[in-house]
């Protein structure tokens, strides 16, 4: 206790015995939790407000102190766990995975202990330089062209870790707009293009950037139609761009998706890139590639076709936090010309001036996104890559794709189901047969399968072609294989659960 009567917290939170006890207690809890996932249901019945009601309305006056780890973890068990959907369950097949790993957890822990703010190179050179190296490693890992790397002679490209693909889309859009303004073009006539199947984050980026007032506002945003496989129609894209140019507008940004959220469709990136390259400069819009989920599979050379044409891109993002064993959050974002990005984000108040930045020889990652302060996310990625190695990561992806094929074979052989699109990597989309009844039956199948809580799958609505060649929106079910611990027996359980619900009837 000091003269003010206060015991300085200082490093007492890290006092050897207490810290070790805490680490041991957390490790014991973590192992118990992860082991329990094999048996636990994926989701639980809970009503809104139930978790809230377990928490006192006021913060505690007295803390539990350095020996209170068991009390805190007791609360995790009794308050937190009952309100979770277990995303790390091997029977979680909904949305896209959020894959974690032991190496990722350790990396997060190290990063939390260091807890540096890597906003500038000078505020922690390791934070910046490890991240730069990881971005170049990952460019290698995914077979990306040299334009995205820092470590090539005369490079003006490079990458950084963003929190999410949505943040990457916003960064790409403002960089595109900045480039356009630097070309002396009219910022008030900007238009942007993505497909009707793109993730909502692209339109959201337009909303945040002031280019759309609502999700439906099409005054600047063009949603390009897709083909029967839900891939962007390259001709329709070029028609829309040319039409806007003729109308005196300024096409600024095109975003393709390699692996759409609903069905995993991959836009014809090469053709789109070649078409855009034919536009006279400065009419060529910025080309962003959103490979948030599917991009992870590019660690395997046999799955790189989806990125064919990526050399035409100005920016690209892939999320290792979805399918590459790297705990939340980790989106890799590369740009061909980092100046457009940093010019759009850089502002230097007096308190951030420093000699290294002024010399211009360093990367200051605060200029690559909206936040100033930034966590050292690269450490967990570094741990993951060093732990598994390139071959380990490839084996992980290949294993999941083989498991998805098992599920696909079940759908193919089950007369009450139809596979509506080709499987893409670990994603299988299907619905219940039944003509005009199919939507209702599919919805009920998903609800009832999830209601049994042993497995979790998800739904979406996409344009489907009916027998008469007419297209209309239809409900489909999605099974995305990607949880870290998933294995054959979990796929078998998924198949049994779906079979049981079908046997009971989904009328």
Per CB under 6 A, residues contacting ligand PLP are 96, 164-166, 199, 201, 257, 259-261, 290, 292-293, 319, 331
Query: How many whole angstroms separate alpha carbon 169 and alpha carbon 108?
Result: 25
> Smallest distance from the beta carbon of 29 to ligand PLP, in angstroms?
27
Decide whether 93 or 96 has the Cβ nearer to ligand PLP. 96
Q: How many CB atoms lie within 10 A of CB 202?
A: 26
Decide whether 96 or 150 has the Cβ nearer to ligand PLP. 96
List phi, psi (to 5°) of 122.
-70, -20
CB-based contact 95:479 (threshold 8 Å): no
> Smallest distance from the beta carbon of 96 to ligand PLP, in angstroms?
5
> Smallest distance from the beta carbon of 265 to ligand PLP, in angstroms?
10
> Smallest distance from the beta carbon of 202 to ligand PLP, in angstroms?
8
Decide whether 172 or 211 has the Cβ nearer to ligand PLP. 172
> Smallest distance from the beta carbon of 171 to ligand PLP, in angstroms?
12
> Smallest distance from the beta carbon of 164 to ligand PLP, in angstroms?
3
Decide whether 174 or 180 has the Cβ nearer to ligand PLP. 174
Decide whether 19 or 87 has the Cβ nearer to ligand PLP. 87
| CA-wise closest residue to 344 among 314, 312, 368, 310 | 368
> Smallest distance from the beta carbon of 264 to ligand PLP, in angstroms?
9
Decide whether 309 or 320 has the Cβ nearer to ligand PLP. 320
> Smallest distance from the beta carbon of 104 to ligand PLP, in angstroms?
16
List phi, psi (to 5°) of 335.
-130, 150
Query: How many whole angstroms separate alpha carbon 195 and alpha carbon 189?
Result: 20
Sheet holding 331-335, edge to edge: 158-162, 331-335, 315-318, 286-290, 250-257, 190-195, 221-224
Decide whether 166 or 357 has the Cβ nearer to ligand PLP. 166
| CA-wise closest residue to 168 among 288, 333, 305 | 333
* Alpha-helical regions (H) of 42-124: 69-75, 102-114
Decide whether 18 or 458 has the Cβ nearer to ligand PLP. 458
Query: How many whole angstroms separate alpha carbon 92 and alpha carbon 105?
Result: 19
> Smallest distance from the beta carbon of 322 to ligand PLP, in angstroms?
7
Cα 249–Cα 252–Cα 256 angle in degrees, nearest 5: 125
Decide whether 244 or 314 has the Cβ nearer to ligand PLP. 314
Residue whose structure tokens are 């369950």: 89
CB-based contact 7:53 (threshold 8 Å): no
Cα 411–Cα 414–Cα 417 angle in degrees, nearest 5: 70
* Residue sitting closest to ligand PLP (CB): 164
At a CB cut-off of 8 Å and minimum separation 6, what does 306 contact?
A: 258, 259, 266, 269, 291, 294, 295, 297, 298
CB-based contact 83:46 (threshold 8 Å): yes
């Amino acid at each position: 206790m000091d003269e003010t009567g206060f015991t300085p917290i200082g490093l007492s939170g890290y006092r050897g015995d207490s810290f070790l006890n805490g680490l041991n207690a957390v490790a014991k809890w973590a192992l118990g939790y992860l082991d329990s996932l094999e048996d636990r249901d994926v989701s639980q019945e809970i009503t809104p407000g139930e978790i809230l009601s377990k928490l006192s309305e006021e913060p505690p006056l007295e803390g539990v102190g350095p020996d209170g780890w068991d009390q805190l973890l007791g609360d995790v068990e009794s308050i937190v766990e009952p309100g979770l959907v277990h995303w790390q369950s091997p029977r979680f097949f909904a949305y896209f995975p959020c894959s974690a790993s032991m190496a990722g957890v350790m990396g997060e822990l190290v990063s939390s202990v260091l807890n540096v703010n890597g906003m500038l190179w000078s505020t922690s050179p390791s934070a910046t330089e490890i991240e730069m190296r990881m971005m170049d490693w990952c460019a290698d890992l995914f077979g990306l062209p040299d334009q995205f790397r820092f470590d090539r002679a005369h490079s003006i490209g490079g990458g950084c870790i963003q929190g999410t693909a949505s943040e990457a889309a916003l960064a790409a859009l403002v960089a595109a707009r900045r480039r356009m303004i630097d070309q002396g073009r009219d910022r008030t006539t900007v238009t942007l293009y993505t497909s009707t199947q793109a993730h909502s984050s692209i339109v959201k980026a337009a909303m945040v950037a002031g280019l759309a007032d609502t999700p439906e506002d099409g005054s600047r945003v063009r949603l390009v139609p897709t083909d029967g496989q839900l891939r962007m129609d390259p001709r329709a894209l070029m028609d829309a761009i040319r039409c806007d140019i003729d109308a005196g507008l300024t096409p600024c940004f095109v975003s393709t998706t390699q692996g759409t959220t609903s069905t995993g469709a991959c836009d014809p990136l090469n053709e789109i890139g070649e078409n855009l390259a034919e536009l006279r400069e400065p009419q060529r819009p910025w080309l962003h590639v959103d490979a948030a989920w599917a991009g992870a599979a590019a660690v395997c050379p046999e799955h790189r076709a989806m990125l064919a044409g990526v050399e035409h891109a100005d920016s690209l993002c892939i999320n290792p936090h979805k399918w590459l064993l790297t705990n939340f959050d980790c989106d890799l974002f590369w740009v061909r010309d980092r100046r457009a990005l940093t010019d759009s984000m850089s502002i230097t108040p007096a308190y951030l001036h420093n000699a290294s930045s002024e010399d211009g020889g360093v990367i200051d990652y605060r200029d690559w996104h909206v936040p100033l302060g930034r966590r050292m996310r690269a450490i967990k990625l570094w741990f993951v890559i060093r732990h598994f190695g390139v071959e380990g990561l490839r084996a992980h992806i290949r294993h999941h794709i083989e498991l998805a094929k098992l599920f696909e074979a079940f759908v193919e052989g089950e007369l009450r189901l139809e596979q509506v699109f080709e499987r893409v990597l670990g994603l299988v989309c299907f619905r219940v047969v039944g003509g005009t009844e199919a939507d209702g039956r599919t919805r009920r199948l998903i609800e009832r399968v999830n209601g049994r809580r042993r497995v979790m799958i998800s739904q979406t609505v996409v344009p489907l072609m009916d027998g008469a060649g007419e297209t209309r929106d239809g409900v489909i079910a999605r099974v995305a294989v990607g949880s870290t611990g998933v294995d054959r027996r979990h796929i078998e359980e998924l198949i049994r659960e779906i079979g049981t619900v079908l046997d009971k009837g989904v009328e």
